[in-house]
Structure 1
Amino acid sequence: MESEASQIILIVTTIIIATFVVFIILLFTVFQKRKNSLLEQQKESKKRFEREIAETQIEIREETLRNISWELHDNIGQLLTLAKIQLQNASQDNIHEVSETITKGLTEVRALSKLINPEAIKNIKLREAIQLEIDRFNRLNFINSALIIKGEGELNNEKSCIIIFRILQEFFSNTIKHSKASNLTVELNFSEHYLEITAKDDGVGFSSLEGKSNGIGLENIKNRAKLIGATAVFTSEVNKGTSLNIVYKL
């Protein structure tokens, strides 16, 4: 009887151990599959992020080329034409005006050279890149613009800087083309852990019922913000303007 009991105990123990081993193997297999799945998701997210960065850089470059075209045609071209006319009618009395026009032209060329140089744009700080845009809007009389900076922080992540700058460029472009606004204000508020950016115009705005959010790339902007762990929120009212609020964890 003792022999039979021992055999039963041995069989039960073997079954328990075998069951435990199978359970461990299954658990390890599930864990490994989940781990592989997470790694694949991370790889895909990294690829998507890098692809988005590349596309954003191309868009910034295209926007820069459009800006250069506007500068050459609407600003520098007009200054050179004016200087030519003034030179044709130059006299001792108006030679100072000719000199001033040429000086303005040189100033505009220097400002334009910052846009042309890809390394300058690549290495520029966010606040400097935004200031260049604001200065250009004011120079060309596109819209009365201002940049307000609060706090002493700085955004040092180059890729996040590229994404945020392109989001703001998209907002600026729609403000100038569609909002009929007179004023544009951009505020950078640096705190210890966050950068909050608010871009605001006083244009015609829109209601949520008009469905214009897709027209200004709201989903695209939100998705880009998510890539860098930021949030982007639009607020707009008819005849009261539109604002974009971005919050980014430093």
Structure 2
Amino acid sequence: MERQETAILIASIVLVFIIIVMIFLFLIFQKRKNILLLQQKEASKKFEKAIAQTQIEIREETLRNISWELHDNIGQLLTLAKIQVSVAHEQPEKLKDVTETITKSLVELRALSKLINPDAIKQLSLTEAIALEIERFNRLQFINAAMTSTPEIRAMDPKVEIIIFRILQEFFSNTIKHSKASNLRVDAIFDKEKVQITASDDGIGFSNSKQKTDQGIGLCNIRSRGKLIDAAIEIRSEVGRGTILKLEYYYKENQV
């Protein structure tokens, strides 16, 4: 009888111990779950904040471009047309020059309107937005730019496209401001699993240990934005041999 009571007591103690352990493990699980949910919430907030900041930067860059083109490009063309009209009063054969200048101004205004119209910009795919930048560089003779792209197989999260576009914009800005390059090339390859984009210039390049301040900040921004969308970023440069940016992004079933 005593053995039976002892066995029951031991079994009860073991059962109570198991229950306590299970409760303890459950509390640890709940705590970790709450921490994970909090981290996910913070990550989501951070991502949304980064998206908002990126959109502001793109808008500011667009406004700078519009201001520059209106003042230094279209403004100069219209001033030239005004001078040509004055000359044409005395030399009617010069009217052809006036027509050509005004026609060029209209072409520039139409191109500029693509940047001004927000509805048109929202409807652009990633490759169309990049191509618009490339077209602008060539039109304004900033640099000799070219782009190749395979068809976009699937649509990406618009937020991801914004980040990728800003990464490329940052690289383009570095190329034009710092690299002294003559040529810029962009190649985009889309397949069922991922997108790979390579941007390269033939500029002076740089040493990893001796970057200009602005350029260094730009490259840091590129890497940090890549982390936001889990994109692999590789930047290679050699003094005198230009700079290459490689971006690889795997599509996600559940986009952020």
| TM-score when normalising by structure 1 | 0.95
1:78 matched residue in structure 2: 76
Deviation for aligned residue 1:21: 0.4
Q: Write the distance in 1 (CA, Å) between the matches of 2:14 and 2:100.
A: 95
Partner of 2:226: 225
**Structure 1 unaligned blocks of 5 or more:** none
In structure 2, the residue matched to 1:242 is: 243
Measured against aligned partners, the alpha-carbon deviations of 1:90-120 in whole angstroms (never above 9, x if no partner) come to: 1431222211111111111111111112232
Measured against aligned partners, the alpha-carbon deviations of 1:159-216 in whole angstroms (never above 9, x if no partner) come to 0110000111111111111110000001111122111001100000011221458624
- Check the 8 A contact 2:206/2:239 in 1, yes or no: yes
Displacement of 1:249 in angstroms is 1.0
Deviation per CA, 1:2-29, whole angstroms, max 9, x where unpaired? Answer: 2x11211111011011001001101110
User: Does the residue aligned with 2:153 lie in a helix, a strand or coil?
Assistant: coil
RMSD of the alignment, in Å?
Answer: 1.5
Percent identity over the alignment is 58
Equivalenced residue count is 248
2:119 matched to 1:119? yes
User: Do 2:174 and 2:218's aligned partners in 1 also have CA atoms closer than 8 Å?
Assistant: no
Q: Does the CA-based 8 Å contact 1:131-1:147 persist in structure 2?
A: yes
In 1, distance between residues paired with 2:221 and 2:101?
42
Contact 1:185–1:200, Cα closer than 8 Å, also in 2: yes
Q: Distance in 1 between matches of 2:119 and 2:17?
A: 63
Counterpart pick for 1:48 among 40, 46, 49: 46
Separation in structure 1 between the aligned mates of residue 131 and residue 152 of structure 2, nearest angstrom? 16
- Compute the displacement of 1:122 (Å): 2.7
Runs of 4+ in structure 1 displaced over 3 angstroms? 211-214
* TM-score (norm. length: structure 2): 0.92
In the alignment, the residues of structure 2 paired with residue 209 and residue 71 of structure 1 have an alpha-carbon distance, to the nearest angstrom, of 36
Q: State which drifts further: 209-218 or 89-98.
A: 209-218
Separation of aligned partners in 2, 1:168 and 1:62: 16
Whole-Å separation in 2 of the counterparts to 1:119 and 1:49: 24
1:152 deviates by 4.5
Residues 159, 152 of structure 1: alpha-carbon distance in 2 compared, 3 angstrom cutoff: closer
